[in-house]
Amino acid sequence: MSRRVSPLESERADYRPRVPAVLGAGIGTVAVREGGTPVPPVASDDDEIRARFPTTHGRPAVELAAGRDRVAADPLRVGVVLSGGQAPGGHNVIAGLADALRAIHAGSRLFGFLRGPNGILTNRHDELTAERVGPFRNTGGFDMIGSGRDKIESDEQLAKSLEVCRGLDLDGLVVVGGDDSNTNAAVLSEYFATHGQKTVVVGVPKTIDGDLKGGGIEASFGFDTATRVYGELIGNICRDARSAGKYWHFIRLMGRSASHVTVECALRTQVNVALVAEEAEQRGWTLDHVADSVADVVRRRAAAGRNYGVCLVPEGLIEFIPEMRGLISELNRILTAEGEAVERLDSADDKRALVASKLSQAGAKVFGSLPVLIQRQLLIDRDAHGNVQVSKIETESLILSEVAERVEAWNASGEFAGKFSAMCHFFGYEGRCAPPSNFDADYTYALGRLAAALVAHRRTGYVCAIQNLAAPPDEWRAAGVPLTSLLAIETRKGRRTPVIRKALVRLDAEPFLSFARERERWQVDDEFMYPGPIQYFGPPEVCSVPTRTLELERAASASTRGR
């Protein structure tokens, strides 16, 4: 019996994603042109990367072009793995891949590794036939094959991966993931190449955080849909705030370190305040400074008779305020050194006291200034790598309590002409598995088809790069960027490690500049915009527009080229 589906799911099942011609029906006969994409500047640690990636480093960027290179005389066998947090469109990457592989050769076969990279290590996979893939077309989530956060790093893991890919006789392995997973893909690609394993490894840029871009990658998939879901909710809350006239809403947004999600949502809703973690870091703001700046808007709005407002707080903020970052790294050190002693204590208060006693003077001062709730959250919930999990710290509630303190003081001294009542929200899980917008449905399907073409053309160590994304899909370009061109070397856990650096919000570039130019206007006068829910069927201005981030970045790059 087939699953009961909602009316929208049923309708979306028939959606045919739009792709550029080169990724269309003739995908079996396209040509690959080298140097099609500008090669990004060589990283400063290029020599070290060349030494670590002797076989795969230094290859040119490529671009698909109309051509007559029929590639696969034989059927292709390809594996695909979803890695890390969910992002809308993952299923369409698989659908595009499956369709293109079959278009290239009807006898091609696709295998989905289950529950992330661990599925490779344990050789658990499902064959992804047309029937298996069908019901997942244009749906959100990663539940077709699951995802996971494991990494393939150690020599044993690399050897095991090779054994599994060899056992399945894979021509290609498509790794769908973020910065870490694509770094992993680069490592696997090199490992396979130097060990004579034919499996071509191709990466696909995924993350709702929007921090995997640059060097030829314009956007990670999922960012569009997730920010639209958050934008819908924020807009609704702006309208509620203005209608009720009596609440401030402090809204924390998912996005890890980077504040791209917050900036995109701010541009689309024109909230009264949106904090940007990267700005706090680069300007060296203290928690007090941040709270002062928000409280000032609260005060000025109250003076204008507006006892309500909306403030966005990126979840990464807590780690980007320099004094907080210092405190967190002290805490990480103490918890590693004193973990057992802390564990032995029964009460949360005793634990806090013990940790506090080990802090530096500066650390103790910051720690002591925080609400007890936040102190507790800073002490629990380290992830497997010993890092604080920003998504579990209620930074919005921290900012709110600091603001409330200031308002109370003003109230006591008669400097506050209004009322202040507030509530907190956290939006994250609501958007990660949303059904993909038309943009993300098209984009991910194109990425999947591009991945198939790169495998067919035996281009290992490339990440799929669909370009010109701010234009309609028929104007998109299909490129491949060598993964090693994105790598830098960083010291992690005491070891020199190749990494793709997260692309943070740049304060000297669009779209931050556009946000910074406008934000003052939004503070006291209500200039809210209400994006509403994602539309799939409406006029193109409503259902097929790129993010503000993409639009502004395109405009900026066009104007640079025009100079």
- Residues lying near its own copies in the complex (CB under 8 A) are found at 3-12, 85-86, 115, 139-143, 146-147, 229, 232-233, 235-237, 239-240, 242-245, 247, 249, 268, 270, 423, 425, 429-435, 527, 529-539, 541-543, 545
CA 257 vs CA 13, 503, 541: distances in Å: 35, 9, 31
Q: Closest distance between its own copies and the C-beta of residue 341, in Å?
A: 24
Q: Closest distance between its own copies and the C-beta of residue 543, in Å?
A: 8
* Six token digits for residue 10: 């049923």
User: Do 137 and 91 form a contact (C-beta atoms < 8 A)?
Assistant: yes
Q: Closest distance between its own copies and the C-beta of residue 90, in Å?
A: 8
229 versus 311: smaller Cβ distance to its own copies: 229
Supply the DSSP symbol for 488.
Answer: E
Long-range contacts (CB closer than 8 Å, 24 or more residues apart) made by 45-49: 45/488, 45/489, 48/489, 48/496, 49/484, 49/487, 49/488, 49/489, 49/498
Q: Closest distance between its own copies and the C-beta of residue 419, in Å?
A: 14
What distance, in Å, lies between the first and last C-alpha atoms of the chain?
61
Query: What kind and span of H or E run contains 273?
Result: strand 273-274
* Six token digits for residue 282: 């680069």
The contacts of residue 68 (CB under 8 Å, 6+ apart) are 29, 31
146: phi then psi, degrees, rounded to nearest 5: 75, 170
Q: Closest distance between its own copies and the C-beta of residue 530, in Å?
A: 6
CA 83 vs CA 182, 277, 427: distances in Å: 9, 26, 22
Q: Closest distance between its own copies and the C-beta of residue 387, in Å?
A: 18
Q: Closest distance between its own copies and the C-beta of residue 147, in Å?
A: 6
User: Do 310 and 237 form a contact (C-beta atoms < 8 A)?
Assistant: yes
145 versus 201: smaller Cβ distance to its own copies: 145
Q: Is 209 a catalytic residue?
A: yes
235 versus 511: smaller Cβ distance to its own copies: 235
422 versus 481: smaller Cβ distance to its own copies: 422
Q: Give the per-residue SS3 of 121-179.
A: HCCCEEECCHHHHHHHCCCCCCCCCCCECCCCCCHHHHHHHHHHHHHCCCCEEEEEECH
* Closest by CA position to 370, among listed 331, 410, 403, 401: 401
User: Do 179 and 257 form a contact (C-beta atoms < 8 A)?
Assistant: no
- Compute the distance between CA of residue 29 and CA of residue 23 in angstroms, rounded to an integer: 10
Options 99, 209, 224, 440, the catalytic residue:
209
18 versus 432: smaller Cβ distance to its own copies: 432
37 versus 86: smaller Cβ distance to its own copies: 86
* Six token digits for residue 82: 């979803």
364 versus 530: smaller Cβ distance to its own copies: 530
Residues annotated as part of the active site: 209
